Amino acid sequence: MPIKCISKTASAYDYPLIIKQIFSTPLVNFPNQKIQYRNQCSYTYTQFSERVHKLAKALESSGVQPGDTVAVMDWDSHRYLECFFAIPMMGAILHTINIRLSPDQLIYTINHAEDDVILIHKDFVPMIEAVKDRLTSVKKMILIADFQDPPQTTIQWDDEYEKMIENADSHFEFVDFDENACATMFYTTGTTGLPKGVYFSHRQLVLHTLGLVTTLNFMNSQASFNASDVYMPLTPMFHVHAWGFPFMATMIGVHQVYPGRYEPETILKLIKNEGVTISHCVPTILHMLLNTPSIRDMDLSKWQVIIGGSALPKSLCDEALKLGINVYAAYGMSETCPVLTCSNIKPHLKTDDDIENTQLRCKTGLPTPLVHLRVVDPDFNDVPPDGKSTGEVIVRTPWLTQGYLNDPEKSEELWEGGWMHTGDIGYMDTEGYLQITDRLKDVIKTGGEWISSLELEDALLAHDGVSEAAVIGVPDDKWGERPFAMVVLTNNAREKNVTSDDIKVHLMAFVEKGIIPKYGVPDKIAIVDSIAKTSVGKINKRSLRQQFI
């Protein structure tokens, strides 16, 4: 018997899952709640709505039509939040440009995305000026002066952001359209080849928003997010929609604080003065803040920080917990919108034991509602969830990119077998927690045995004198590959003349405890001044391989 669909009354409203539906919620519940940009300006959600309408009207007057692509280059700001809503709600596509791309990558992504209009913060004008003659699709450029005088440039601006909004009509009719319409796009910052374009529909973003709310509130755990919170992103808004949190924060109607350019003292002052209660960032940002002296004088007991982008090192977690920060890990990737897991601590696993508490918070986490996640062997068979059997993590969920823009071959590789392949190696334990042990391309095979570079890095970072660490595999005639470690020492460790031999002794303690195998101890540990990072703050292992192999 065939599936029987529901019957539809002729006059019934077919409610599309489009971004305007989450935009309207705070205007009913919390119209006077505040959205703030640094210490420069703040306004209510009602005023936010007015500006979103005016921005859409101004862009329409500039010639932007449904299906056009509008790109943004800005720091984390109230303006960016306005673009998150106005551009896709008018049926156009928001392209969030990675402001840390090389000139060639910048040219490639703008041309490949076929951007029609670019909104450019004054700080990034030199980047665009250097490449503007090689941009093939851009019709108009709009300056974001950021309350300052326009910069000297040869670019002929078509408008300035605040003037454009000031002069626009105050109402735009945001009509309904297909929920599968493309809403956003951006480019991955992978460490191989050209950047790859990923894209997401209105439906996907709405479902991801609802999934985030559920994830942070469905379990009686250390994770929570509700209307009483004060939210400040510390993940760039160009990077996977700041992990989707601005959409969720707006829907809930929380007090939002946007820090602009990431400056440690400015961030800490905003946390203190505005009472920020929840943020998210990569480990390097939290590491930067924890090493800012003024943080020692702050009460951070109400600050919740979700770490993603890279594994949360246990040493960093311990340091944050000592300052009262409620820190824990989540996991996702550019292709997944991004959130797939969150290290919610189940009620029966809550403990006062510091070591167990840290281990739970640093786990990759439990799959979020609506995420179907598997760990499989090379033959696509599920490995047992025993806390030790590893395989590739593959996933299905409503908010995965359906491919790479104009790249059918890479898209098929991504979706081989009807499951998205994350390229991550990990295992599931008996409680359902995922633990990523390495990237498929980063795992080290020595003498026929696998070594996790992430586990070695975690052990290295447990040394009091190690500030940063990275491990890669290097060719070896006898063993095939051997781990090679790079560490950045703390200032105190440099003064004490800590050596690579001291760090090897430290690693042997992990061998004795059975945490890492003896063959996993690197033959060579290089003490370096810095470790190469990607544009979003992750360790750039491709660059390290080019440098040391």
Summarised one tens digit per residue, pLDDT across range 514-547 is: 889 888 899 999 999 999 988 888 889 888 988 8
Evaluate whether residue 386 is within a structural domain. no
Assigned token pair, 217: 């509130």
Evaluate whether residue 425 is within a structural domain. no
CATH of the domain at 454: 3.30.300.30
- Final residue of a structural domain among 180, 199, 218: 199
For 349-361, how does the pLDDT look when each residue is reduced to its tens digit (9 = 90+)? 999 888 899 999 9
Q: What are the distances in angstroms from CA 260 to CA 37, 90, 154, 263?
A: 7, 25, 26, 8
Instruction: Read off the pLDDT band of 447 (50, 70, 90).
Output: confident
CATH of the domain at 171: 3.40.50.12780
| Total-model pTM | 0.90
Instruction: Read off the pLDDT band of 480 (50, 70, 90).
Output: confident
Query: Mean of the pLDDT values across residues 215-242?
Result: 97
Tell the burial category of 457 from Cβ atoms under 10 Å away from its Cβ (0-12, 13-18, 19+).
buried
- Final residue of a structural domain among 199, 216, 231: 199
Evaluate whether residue 310 is within a structural domain. no
Phi/psi at 192 (5° precision): -135, 135
Mean pLDDT of the chain: 95
283-290 and 314-322 helices cross at what angle (nearest 10)?
A: 40
Q: What are the distances in angstroms from CA 289 to CA 459, 483, 531?
A: 22, 30, 18
User: Which residues are known to be catalytic?
Assistant: 188, 335, 445, 450
Total domains in the chain come to: 2
- Final residue of a structural domain among 199, 225, 245: 199
For 163-221, how does the pLDDT look when each residue is reduced to its tens digit (9 = 90+)? 999 999 999 999 999 999 999 999 997 655 689 999 999 999 999 999 999 999 999 99
Least Cα distance to 430 among 493, 361, 346 occurs for 346
Helix (DSSP H) and strand (DSSP E) numbers for the chain = 18, 25
Predicted pLDDT at 500:
94
Q: Are 501 and 520 in contact (CB under 8 A)?
A: no
Question: Which residue range(s) make up the domain with 142?
Answer: 43-199
What is the distance between the alpha carbons of residues 540 and 190, in angstroms, rounded to a whole number?
Answer: 9
